[in-house]
Amino acid sequence: MKAAIYSQKTDLDTFLYLSKFISELAKRNIEAVLHQNTANDLQFSKDFATFSSKEDLQNQNVDFFFSFGGDGTILNALIFIQDLQIPVIGVNTGRLGFLASFSKEEIFNNIDNIVNGELVLSKRSVIQVFTKNNSIAFPYALNDLSIIRKETTSMITVDTYINDDFLTVFWADGLIVSTPTGSTAYSLSCGGPIIAPTNDNFVLTPIAPHNLNVRPIVIKDDAEIHLKVESRVPQYSLSLDSRLYELNTDEEVWIKKAPFELHLLLPKDINFFDKLRERLLWGKDKRN
């Protein structure tokens, strides 16, 4: 059995912590396969197998993917896993952590549960983006796609079509298209609704719209979304999770649900609604 180890942190505490975790895996005859940058930056022994691409994970026959960091680290894990369906275990060494379900301490008590298949598998939908020029190197996002104004204080307009039917023109700083997973991220901060990850939806949330009667809208994720951007400058920004691209305003965007999902392993005793109450402090009286 093999487990991929991925982290974006390069400090001494991370090295000591990962060394301890890898030792626990070895006790269970699980071979650690380290991300190439993690191995190099933290100066792990060259005896470890490494990966730097989807093909490496596939060739190594990795069974599990451990992500150490915050939710952003899990978002970047999609680049390596893509359609391989390798289960991801998120260990939260960051801050909020909606996706990373285990704390640094809890994961040690759950290694056997993971190996024995005693966790819950949560399948998360992924966004896929198309342009006529195929100008986006990795056209997938787990959380969201954002169209954002670039190098101007003026708003942009985004003509929006759903399955070739005209929806509206969003006159705003931008537009977010999010998955249910991404509904608790950027979309939420812009007034979008929270959607449970088991729902098959996209959310379209305008960013600071000029017309206050323009509100977020929820649609089925089997729809194709078509966006046309107009701006006072010749370019706009497009972000996919944490990756930023610059497109010309004459470059239109089509958005669909990707033909694969990301698989997350979650503890049985904590569900999505437990996380909402904990992370968003629901039911807590903050007046004292």
pLDDT category of residue 212 using cuts at 50, 70 and 90 = confident
Displacement of CA 14 from its chain's centroid (Å)? 22
- Which structural domains are found in the chain, ordered by start? 2-119+267-279 (3.40.50.10330), 126-258 (2.60.200.30)
Phi, psi dihedral angles at 277 (to 5 degrees): -60, -40
The answer to whether residue 55 scores a pLDDT higher than 90 is yes
Instruction: Kindly report each contact of residues 13-19 with a partner whose C-beta sits within 8 Å and lies 24 or more positions away, as own/partner.
Output: 14/42, 14/68, 14/93, 15/42, 15/43, 15/44, 17/68, 17/93, 17/104, 18/42, 18/44, 18/68, 19/44
Asked if residues 260 and 232 have their Cβ atoms less than 8 Å apart, the reply is no
Q: What pLDDT is recorded for position 100?
A: 86
The answer to whether residue 49 scores a pLDDT higher than 80 is yes
Q: What is the mean pLDDT of residues 68-75?
A: 93
> How many Cβ atoms sit within 10 Å of the Cβ of residue 181?
25
Q: What pLDDT is recorded for position 47?
A: 86
Q: What is the mean pLDDT of residues 50-61?
A: 96
Handedness of CA 242, 98, 160, 154 (dihedral sign): negative
Q: What pLDDT is recorded for position 134?
A: 81
| Distance in angstroms (rounded) separating the CA atoms of residues 246 and 136 | 9
Residue 225 in tokens: 């979304």
Displacement of CA 214 from its chain's centroid (Å)? 26
Displacement of CA 112 from its chain's centroid (Å)? 26
| Distance in angstroms (rounded) separating the CA atoms of residues 260 and 139 | 13
Q: What is the mean pLDDT of residues 208-233?
A: 95
Q: What pLDDT is recorded for position 284?
A: 73
73 or 97, which is more confident: 73
**In this structure, are strands 49-51 and 31-35 parallel, antiparallel, or unpaired?**
parallel
Phi, psi dihedral angles at 46 (to 5 degrees): -75, 0
Asked if residues 180 and 127 have their Cβ atoms less than 8 Å apart, the reply is no
Phi, psi dihedral angles at 73 (to 5 degrees): -70, -40
Q: Which of 67-81, 167-181, 193-207, 271-285 has the lowest mean pLDDT?
A: 271-285
Q: What pLDDT is recorded for position 286?
A: 66
Residue 168 in tokens: 């509206």
Residue 186 in tokens: 């950027």
The answer to whether residue 13 scores a pLDDT higher than 80 is yes
Q: What pLDDT is recorded for position 96?
A: 65
The answer to whether residue 197 scores a pLDDT higher than 70 is yes
Q: What is the mean pLDDT of residues 93-104?
A: 81
> How many Cβ atoms sit within 10 Å of the Cβ of residue 53?
12
| Exposure b/e, 197-225, CB count within 10 A at least 16 = b | beeebbbbbbbebeeeeeebbbeebebeb
What DSSP string describes 240-271? ETTEEEEEETT--EEEEEEEEEEEEEE-TT--
Query: Of these residues, 13, 47, 63, 71, which one is catalytic?
Result: 71
The answer to whether residue 288 scores a pLDDT higher than 90 is no
The answer to whether residue 7 scores a pLDDT higher than 70 is yes
The answer to whether residue 97 scores a pLDDT higher than 80 is no
Rounded to two decimals, the pTM is 0.92
| Distance in angstroms (rounded) separating the CA atoms of residues 68 and 90 | 6
The answer to whether residue 114 scores a pLDDT higher than 70 is yes
Q: Express as a percent the part of the chain with pLDDT over 90.
A: 80
Q: Express as a percent the part of the chain with pLDDT over 70.
A: 98
Q: Which of 103-112, 158-167, 205-214, 263-272 has the lowest mean pLDDT?
A: 263-272
Q: Is 144 a catalytic residue?
A: no
Q: What pLDDT is recorded for position 287?
A: 63
The answer to whether residue 168 scores a pLDDT higher than 70 is yes
Indicate the average pLDDT of the chain.
93
The answer to whether residue 158 scores a pLDDT higher than 70 is yes
Q: What is the mean pLDDT of residues 194-217?
A: 94
